[in-house]
Amino acid sequence: MGTPEYTVCEAIELLHRIGADGVEIVVQNDYRSGLPCDCNENTLAEVRRCAEQNNIQIICLTPYNSYFNSLDEPVRQREIAAIKKVMGYCDQLGTKYIRIYGGNLAAGDTEKLAERRARLIESMCELGDAAAEKGVTLVIENHFNTMAVSAKESASLIREIDHPAVRILYDQANLTFTGNEGYEEALPLQQQYVAYMHVKDLVFKEGVAFSSSNVARPDESERNVYTRIVGEGVIPWPEILRAVKARGYDGWLSLEYERRWHPDDIPDASIGMKRSLEYLRGIEL
């Protein structure tokens, strides 16, 4: 996400130079800084070797499958199979987390919601069983155009899935720019289920309401925010990090530096990710 100009190994080397501890790697075809969906063993071995040489842990893999709530059974099964394949990559890379979209649901879509939610829960239970066997945790992200768009909905979903290998990926920036909970409201609702966190920052465009026709990212014409280096936007990270620590969180903070989507907003990762890391490490907890 943060290093579209780099190969995966070049990005790992950069992260080592700027003082990062780990890396979250995209799994998607035709992205220079990611792994292909059908990744061969030689590539996986090369990436693992590069990470070990640079003392970088491969923490999370991030595929873009989302139709786990589809009522079209072949489509749903295809998505499940894709995540099981990613679990195999986790085995070879020593990775413990997979980012998951909580289904695919456009804003305002109310068609057969109960049935689609049931399919999502069924998918996550099946995948949770497979993940547990691999020692992997699936983390469902607070994300627009899914069935986990808010902290309230995310927590409700996790309670219904009721699987120890399926947890929440807390993304306060996503909650903020979609008009959902601030951190003071989000933490009591979902923090007990959080196993992983994304950190990013933003400023709002004046007079623009949020909308997105795509689950991965809003079209440029739909954006209601500009992305920023962490510490230079409106997300109160010192308060959030102190609050999650007080509630017992001691997991990873993954810097979701959105240069892939918004290269005109923020500088190269060698500058912007470095400054973001320095800012985060300077916060007194």
Closest Cα to residue 186, out of 138, 239, 222, 229? Answer: 239
Confidence of residue 222 (pLDDT cuts 50, 70, 90): confident
pLDDT tens-digit readout, 43-56? 999 999 999 999 99
With contact defined as beta carbons under 8 Å apart, do 12 and 54 qualify? yes
Percent residues over pLDDT 90 in the chain: 93
- Give yes or no for residue 213 having a pLDDT over 90: no
**How far is it, in rounded angstroms, from Cα 62 to Cα 132?**
18
Percent residues over pLDDT 70 in the chain: 100
- Give yes or no for residue 130 having a pLDDT over 90: yes
Closest Cα to residue 161, out of 185, 186, 193? Answer: 193
Segment 260-273 shows an average pLDDT of 97
The pLDDT of residue 210 is 84
- Give yes or no for residue 215 having a pLDDT over 80: no
Q: Which residue has the higher pLDDT, 108 or 97?
A: 97
Residue 213 per-residue DSSP state: S
**3-state DSSP assignment of residue 202:** strand
pLDDT tens-digit readout, 70-91? 999 999 999 999 999 999 999 9
**How far is it, in rounded angstroms, from Cα 218 to Cα 227?**
12
Domains and CATH numbers, the chain: 8-281 (3.20.20.150)
Mean pLDDT of the chain: 97
